[in-house]
Amino acid sequence: MQDTQGTNLDPWYGHYAERTAGLSASEVRALFAVASRPEVVSLAGGMPYVSALPQQLIERAALRAATDRAAVALQYGSGQGVPRLREQILEVMALEGIHGSVDDVVVTTGSQHALELLAKLFLDPGDVIIAEGPSYVTAITVFRSFQGEVVHVPMDDQGMNPQALRETIERVRAAGKRIKFLYTIPSFQNPTGVTLSWERRVEILEIARTSGILVLEDNPYGLLHFEQAPPPAMRSIDSEGVVYLGTFSKTLAPGLRVGWAIAPHAIREKLVLANEAAVLSPSSFSQIVISEYLDTADWKGQISTFRDVYRERRDAMLGALSDYLPSMTWTRPAGGFYVWLTMPEHLDSKAMLPRAVKELVAYTPGTAFYADGDGRRNMRLSFCYPQPDFIREGIRRLSTVINGELALLGEFSQTAPLPVQPVERDVLPPYAG
Ligand SMILES: Cc1ncc(COP(=O)(O)O)c(C=O)c1O
């Protein structure tokens, strides 16, 4: 129970709902403000390179939405989304092996909002969500904001480990906890870039089915492959046990804030009601702009252009890592936006970040992607936004920081350790927790 006394800083402290305890700004947020200065090479964010979109195509679609189609685009719409756009979403989904009916699709305000709605529909305090370790930072935040507990399952270069999943389910249930769903990003995962193999997709779905666990498949990056396409979506194998989330954020533009969920009938009904309760209807204007774009532009050609842009950047990052940090290990994504770097034991990516920003390079510390404090030796490096030359320079700067840390560790390990002074918990400064 929170104390309802306010503080000098926040007179309403103590009035917030208990579930907001999970909603705290990360310690690295302030640093990211500095990292957005132009002299810093930011390998931290996941911003798509929207400059690769032909401006006149978007202009034409927006103009149509504001003129000929204004009666619909400027009006409230259906809580399930514009029917024509839902048909077009099915055309996009067919590229991932998913075939369904327009009735199965619910348009949302980005896939982030679909995550929020599903968390709202399924989570009671203390419920468990099983997720890859590591997993998408803002999904963890959403699940926590509904007082869910995220339990990670380790992954390797083929994705989530099925045997570890079985053991985790058993362990969580033996502890008397309820598992509400299995959250997975099977293709070009955020943050590792790893893709779940076909065999494991089938095996994990079978484990989920026999254990009575709903699968939440989040797939923003599946169409952004650099070599061959990833295996078909899990939803294409099991339409009853999987809720699938898609988005136009990475293949078109995140500023439009349009995503979708494809869900089994009963869940879809509840999703529409939750969507209406939250936003009445997703933005009609954005939906019409996208629908016009899909009707008039070569959208498949545009996705190919994005693939070419990101492939070149991925290659620049992998090449620079081999040149400047050959003793580290990292993933080799075949699509998407991210590389996951593992440093030697004893290095701490969160503690190192201020020094990196001082050297004018930024990344996201690995701890952001775990609910349990793991990930200190890791960092997520995004190659989606900076130009290839900047990526190379960013990795060079990063190498001076990491090598500096290693040299320092080498020096300290030669001297006798200082005695550790015991500290009283309540004399720790507030930021130390
Ligand atoms: C795995 C994952 N899910 C969901 C989202 C949210 O995307 P949207 O812009 O559709 O809300 C992102 C954005 O980076 C993501 O990486």
Domain assignment present for 18: no
* 365 Cα–ligand 1 center, Å: 18
Residue ranges in 264-298 assigned as alpha helix (H):
265-279, 284-296
Number of domains forming the structure of the chain: 2
Domain that holds residue 405: 24-52+301-410
- Kindly state whether residues 32 and 134 are assigned to the same domain: no
Secondary structure tally for the chain: helices H, strands E: 13, 14
List the CATH number of the domain containing 91: 3.40.640.10
- 380 within some domain: yes
pLDDT at res. 416: 55
What pLDDT was estimated at residue 130? 98
Which pair of structure tokens corresponds to residue 202?
A: 């089938």
Residue 319 pLDDT > 60, yes or no? Answer: yes
Cis peptide before 333 (omega within 30 of 0): no
Percentage, residues of the chain above pLDDT 90: 85
For a pocket test of ligand 1, which of 249, 283, 364, 383 has the largest count of ligand atoms closer than 8 A to its C-beta? Answer: 249
C-alpha of residue 256 to centroid of ligand 1, in Å: 13
- Choose the final residue of a domain: 238, 268, 296: 296
C-alpha distance from residue 180 to each of 119, 187, 211 (Å): 9, 22, 11
pLDDT at 411: 75
| Distance from Cα 424 to the centre of ligand 1, integer Å | 41
Residues 82 and 34 reside in one and the same domain? no
220 and 349 within one domain: no
Whether 223 and 270 share a structural domain: yes
Of 242, 269, 296, the residue at which a domain comes to its end is 296
Pocket of ligand 1 (CB under 6 A): 46, 110-112, 136, 185, 190, 218, 220, 247, 249, 254, 259
Nearest CA to ligand 1 atom 16: 190
Across 359-364, average pLDDT: 96
| Nearest residue (CA) to ligand 1, atom 14 | 46
Phi, psi of 187 (to 5 degrees): -115, 125
Instruction: Give me 373's structure tokens.
Output: 């404090």
Q: Are residues 161 and 235 in the same domain?
A: yes
Query: Are 318 and 176 members of one domain?
Result: no
Q: Which residue has the higher pLDDT, 38 or 386?
A: 386
Residue 185 alpha carbon to ligand 1 centre in Å: 10
The two tokens of residue 12 are 């309403």
Judgement on whether residues 318 and 352 belong to the same structural domain of the protein: yes
Q: How far, rounded to the nearest angstrom, does the alpha carbon of residue 95 sit from its chain's CA centroid? A: 21
Among 47, 115, 136, name the best residue to mutate to test ligand 1's pocket (greatest count of ligand atoms within 8 A of Cβ): 136
pLDDT band at 21 (very low <50, low <70, confident <90, very high): confident
The residue assigned the tokens 């362990």 is 171
Are 138 and 275 contained in the same domain?
yes
Identify the residue whose tokens are 């930021």. 431
Domain with 41 in it: what CATH number?
3.90.1150.10
pLDDT for residue 424? 38
Substitution candidate for ligand 1 out of 113, 247, 275, 364 with most atoms within 8 A of CB = 247
Half-sphere exposure for 207 (CA within 13 Å, toward CB): 20
List helix spans (H) across 344-429.
Answer: 349-358, 388-414
82: confidence class by pLDDT, cuts 50, 70, 90: very high
Based on the fold, state whether residues 212 and 66 are members of the same structural domain: yes
- Ligand 1 centroid – CA 112 distance (Å): 6
Same structural domain, 199 and 173: yes
Domain co-membership, 67 together with 112: yes
Note whether residue 433 is domain-resident: no
Position 225 confidence tier, pLDDT thresholds 50, 70, 90: very high
Do residues 101 and 215 share a domain?
yes
Tokens representing residue 429 in the block: 């400064």
